[in-house]
Amino acid sequence: MPYFPQTFRQFVLKNPFNRQYLLIAAIAIVVQLIIFKILYPYADFFSDSYSYIYAAILKQEVNLWPIGYTIFLRLFHVFSHSDTALVAVQYILIQCSALYLFFSVSYWLQPGEQTRRVIFYVLLFNPLILYISNYVSSDGLFLAISLVWFTQLLWLLHRPSYVLLIAHGLLIAIAFTVRYNAMYYPLITALVLLRCPQKIAFKALGIVLPLVLIGVFINFTKEATRKVTGTAQFSVFGGWQMANNALYMFPYLKDYPEPPAGCEAFHKEVVHFFRDIIPKGGGIPSPMQGAIYLKHPQAPLKKFLQLSYGNKDDTTGGIHSWGMVSPVYEKYGSYMIRQHPFYFARYFLLPNTFNYFVPPLEKLSEYNLGSYSVSPVARYWFHYHSKQLSSVASIGAQKALLFFFPILFGLLNLIFLGLIFKWFVSTTRKTAARPYRDSQLLVLITLVVNAGFGILASPIVFRYQVFPMIVCFIFISILADKLKPELQST
């Protein structure tokens, strides 16, 4: 690189290549957003969207999902009720976060200019980011936060400071309030801090701070849930997810097992579903079909909810009704998994592992779930004149455009594994500086832990894997650039 100033600010603002990148990015972000909103004048909605909006309207302290995005919607609504403005903010946040990662990688790891151009243009002109940003969902906000979190990890490896450390702890806590996937972020941060050449007090602060902040949020959520449901629960949705995951193995058990105490009525619905409903449905559900037991109206989760809650109107957006039965589902699901770990591994974890490498597009396969209408809560929140939406692009256009991305995600993971193996046995690694080596190790750990968490937690869907996909692509490019002499000689 022809010019490498001492400070990051100088690197970004005074380097002629980087000033050009900033100008191109500013123009491209505006132009792409304008074109996209011409094609899709309205935001994209699915069931989670309405849950977030409903909670924002009622100013609830707890929701079926983490409350962070609901708070974001409420804060944004103070300034604007425009869904176009919301989408624009989400898109700009993601692109700025990606640029922060791009310039930080360029500053610390110094790839060649050709490699930098590839990374820059792929990040900037990625249609997937536009579709993610168009959702009224936590996906876009969480992606932006995750990119900043990962970038800060690189800075902690190369230039740790107390200011950065405290900001990083706060960022993890914020990420956790937006999506519970962030629960593994403190683990990766702790591993990075253990590699930092800093005093024990510095490392201890960085490890303990996010855990304390997350603990405060968990206690707050439990108390808020107790006020609504009568039971202190951290995640109302957690029990539902646990039972859903356990039910994939149920049809393969040799005998219907005895349920744990207090779950007999739910177990009766489970047995009825697999004995009487599934044989008529033409196939046993698999994790590769998504969280089918959460969605199926005849599945035992929804049926038991109806039996337990009756036809009463739940004015809490589902928190009260779902929260009433969630402890039963959690107890039942965890019991079945403990009793039949082999079946759980065979019929949930194994197919979900394959699912990870080619995750389904799920909600991304159709605009607004294939409908041109929205819920009244969305119409009220965004001041729509009608519940009817319109778009220039067809409903299925995004599937035609994005269908290859899940396959690409699997290919990128395999390529990265090959390159990282080559890196660990290469002579280039031995001569690289320690922070550079630690950066590659950080990426490997992040991708492995993300995969493990995703496989264990719930059926994999593609929109949850956009962050690791971006990180994987960037560091494939970095590794290929660094290993180019050895790769060319083989």
pLDDT at residue 340, as a whole number? 93
Mean pLDDT for all residues in the chain: 92
Residues of the chain with confidence (pLDDT) below 50: 1-4
In-domain check, residue 278: yes
Give the pLDDT of residue 281. 53
Residues 269 and 347 in one domain: yes
Range of the domain at 414: 403-490
Residue 436 lies in a domain: yes
pLDDT at 124: 97
Co-location of 348 and 415 in the same domain: no
Query: Does some domain include residue 128?
Result: no
Q: Given the structure tokens 């750990």, which residue do they identify?
A: 445
pLDDT of residue 179: 95
Residue 350 and residue 411 in one domain: no
| Same domain as 344, residue 256 | yes
Q: Answer yes or no: do 348 and 259 share one domain.
A: yes
245 and 343 both lie in a single domain: yes
Token reading at 185? 């972020």
CA distance 268 to 284: 18
Residue 110 inside a domain? The answer is no
What are all long-range contacts of 229-234, with beta carbons under 8 Å and residues at least 24 apart? Answer: 229/319, 229/320, 229/323, 229/324, 229/326, 230/324, 231/323, 231/324, 231/326, 231/327, 233/323, 233/326, 233/327
328 and 268 within one domain: yes
Q: Would 11 be classed as within a structural domain?
A: no
Q: Are residues 349 and 262 in the same domain?
A: yes
Q: How many Å separate Cα 150 from the centre of its chain?
A: 13
Choose the final residue of a domain: 357, 391, 416: 357
Which of 285, 289, 318 lies closest to 299 in space, CA to CA?
Answer: 285
**In this structure, are 249 and 322 located in the same domain?**
yes
Residue 266 in tokens: 């739910």
Answer yes or no: do 338 and 408 share one domain: no
Claim to verify: residue 421 and residue 484 sit in the same structural domain: yes
User: pTM (2 decimals)?
Assistant: 0.94
If phi > 0 it is left, if psi is from -120 to 50 it is alpha, else beta; for residue 180 that is alpha
Same domain, 334 and 416: no
Q: What confidence score (pLDDT) does residue 279 get?
A: 66
Last residue of a domain, one of 357, 392, 411: 357
Asked if the structure places residue 174 within a domain, the reply is no
